[in-house]
Structure 1
Amino acid sequence: MAAAPKDEFVAVASGGRESPGHEEQQTGPLKASDQAVTFMTSIEPAELLKCVFRDSLVSVSESGRELGGFHVTVEFARKFQQSCVLLHAESQGTIDDNPCGTTVTTYLTTDLEVLQEDYYEYVHLKGQKMEKSCRTVQRDGQMVFDTVTTVGMNVKKETFSYPLSDLRGLVTEGSILLLMRLFVTRKKVPDHMVFISFNQGLRMVHSTFSELGLKQLDVGGNAAEVFGIRKTSHLSENSSSSWHCYFLEDGHLASRVHVGSPVTMKLLQLPSQQEKGNTHPHTVKTFFFLKNRLLQAVSHWLSVCILDFQKVPLHWEKDMLMRSEFLDRKDNIKTSHASYLRQHPEIRSLVSDFLQFLLLRKPDDVFQFARKYFLQFVCYRSTESHHNAPPLKKATPENSS
């Protein structure tokens, strides 16, 4: 079996995250550098907009044999009643002809703070199934990790938690992929940035990023200039694990390899102009995401793009974000209406009296009947305002005929 990469999102033909079996004793909570924290808080929504696209790569062995695929999608969404970024990544392939795969779904704030992340990996060996899942979620001021490990018929469940105050500068399986896209949009990896992350044993480790420079890479028979980033997890004082990732100028991932692994993930074809220009599925999501921070700019952008949407039907009921916005607005309106009715109980009495009187008289002209019925209240209120009359008393329906 191929050697397993021992940190973050697992490559096809790998066995997953780092095993905690050879860890050194940790003497205290690690801290991220001020530069790393500052970078995360400096991220602008407009930068995230440039990261909304899909990457699709294939995993190949040293001999050129195709082993599987690797896909990453970034879009805007909602989680826990707030706008956020949703990243979904998955890989599938084989290890010595045994099926394996990994899936990561991460919800992030605009400064890459993790709201929730679901990680799942599996390897199906002959006669034995191995699976591991981990849900990371914010709960009551803590970051809670719920893990389930299955080996054959044996199932092990564990729960760990850390105070959120100790996790400033945290990067996870999913946020790392988005973080590197942001580096590419800025065309620079800032110096002295040290982040914190977790290995498989949920032990804190330091993670750093550095530039590998520019180089030419063959993509589908075309020479493309790519920007390289090295991601390193410092597992112990004398042990580290690195990934080398190369990106096209627009942020698309072109190559990704775990140092020491015989497997390489690479882009087979340059993204077409049609794919780059086909942004309409994310347009409305972008509007809702930016409406409180870039309302004027987004409104202008939306008005410019509106002509492109005239030929594209808008099925808002099928769009999760738009439907969520609709339901939230609907609930807010219902709550507001109910509150107003509680503050003015006379409304129910007034409407109830009118309906009872209407059903008793059964007039042919309902509109004229309603006009006469409610006109008495207008006249009475006018007289009251001029003569400082006592509070309005309920009118007697018989007097309105």
Structure 2
Amino acid sequence: MEPPPECPQETPALTEAAAEFLSLIAYVTPQLETLEQEELEQVEVTGVVTLKARPVERRTHMVSHQHGITVTKTLREGEEETQRWSFSYSKAELQGLLPEGASLLLLRVLACQRAVPSGLVFPAIDTEGHLCTSSYCALGIQQQVVGSVEAEVFVIERAVVTGTGISTVWHSSFLRSGVKPRTPFPKQPLDWEEDIQLYSWFLDRKV
């Protein structure tokens, strides 16, 4: 294995994420083996002082080959030069590996069966490219508002634990068909005078 190099760290500053876009494309076999996967995260970061939006793009590409898997990560911030680094894992280290795309498919299969085997754990790769574990357990059937009606959903918990013991937990709800329900978001009144960023744009346009 080639260990993941030190990932470039974003410069800490008085910033906040104003908008975010995520996409995931994965090519997975019926046996849930990942042939190729690409994750893209695009964030508009707005400075608190300058109020200027700065785009940040993070891309992670994973491809399987006869020796194992190679992961390539890229980071681009605004007009700065794109940073890129790659590392690989051997097949021996990847027995049963379940990256993000394959994990989403597994969740849908488990939801259709409405059952999760006890102690279901797979190796995975975290956001920094390190090997970690991903576990699954059923939280049972619950009622959830879908559109204008209340529907029965099956809830599964997924926990990703890194080598340092840090865990991230997600709760995913699925209809009987294995499809994730769309949760309605109530409209909130927009008070542009209380939003410093919108208020600044308003003043700029007036000038």
TM-score class, shorter: 0.7 to 0.9
Per-residue CA shift, 1:322-381, capped at 9, x if unaligned?
xxxxxxxxxxxxxxxxxxxxxxxxxxxxxxxxxxxxxxxxxxxxxxxxxxxxxxxxxxxx
Whichever residue aligns with residue 148 of structure 1, its letter is T
- 2:23 corresponds, among 97, 100, 103, to 103
Whichever residue aligns with residue 18 of structure 2, its letter is N
Contact (CA 8 Å) 1:20, 1:199: kept in 2 or not? Answer: no
| 1:172 matches 2:99 | yes
How many residue pairs are counted as aligned between the two chains?
166
Contact (CA 8 Å) 2:145, 2:183: kept in 1 or not? Answer: no
Q: 1:103 to 1:163 in 2, by over 3 A?
A: same
Aligned-partner Cα distance in 2 for 1:20–1:216: 43
Aligned-partner Cα distance in 1 for 2:30–2:141: 28
Q: What runs of 5+ residues in structure 1 fail to find an aligned partner? A: 1-18, 22-94, 255-265, 269-401
- Shift of residue 237 of structure 1? 5.4
Aligned-partner Cα distance in 2 for 1:202–1:97: 23
Q: 1:105 to 1:143 in 2, by over 3 A?
A: same
- Shift of residue 236 of structure 1? 4.3
- Shift of residue 131 of structure 1? 0.8
Higher strand share: 2
Aligned-partner Cα distance in 1 for 2:17–2:132: 33
| 1:145 matches 2:65 | no
Aligned-partner Cα distance in 2 for 1:112–1:239: 26
| 1:200 matches 2:116 | no
- 1:157 corresponds, among 68, 77, 84, to 84
Aligned-partner Cα distance in 1 for 2:133–2:17: 34
Q: Which residue is equivalent to 1:243? A: 170
Q: What TM-score do the two structures reach when normalised by structure 1?
A: 0.39
- 1:118 corresponds, among 35, 38, 49, to 38
Higher helix share: 1
| 1:267 matches 2:193 | no
Contact (CA 8 Å) 1:193, 1:209: kept in 2 or not? Answer: yes
| 1:128 matches 2:44 | no
Aligned-partner Cα distance in 2 for 1:97–1:241: 20
Aligned-partner Cα distance in 2 for 1:20–1:173: 22
- Shift of residue 172 of structure 1? 1.3
Aligned-partner Cα distance in 2 for 1:104–1:134: 10
Larger Rg: 1
Q: What TM-score do the two structures reach when normalised by structure 2?
A: 0.73
Q: What runs of 5+ residues in structure 2 fail to find an aligned partner? A: 1-6, 10-14, 46-51, 185-207
Whichever residue aligns with residue 100 of structure 1, its letter is E
Q: How does 1:309-348 map to 2 (within 5 A)?
A: none
Contact (CA 8 Å) 1:98, 1:123: kept in 2 or not? Answer: yes
Aligned-partner Cα distance in 1 for 2:23–2:113: 28
Q: 1:233 to 1:252 in 2, by over 3 A?
A: same
Aligned-partner Cα distance in 2 for 1:144–1:238: 24
Q: Secondary structure of the equivalent of 1:116? A: strand
Identity %: 27
Contact (CA 8 Å) 1:253, 1:267: kept in 2 or not? Answer: no
Q: Secondary structure of the equivalent of 1:224? A: strand
Q: Secondary structure of the equivalent of 1:154? A: coil
- Shift of residue 97 of structure 1? 7.6
Q: 1:185 to 1:20 in 2, by over 3 A?
A: farther
Aligned-partner Cα distance in 1 for 2:66–2:165: 36
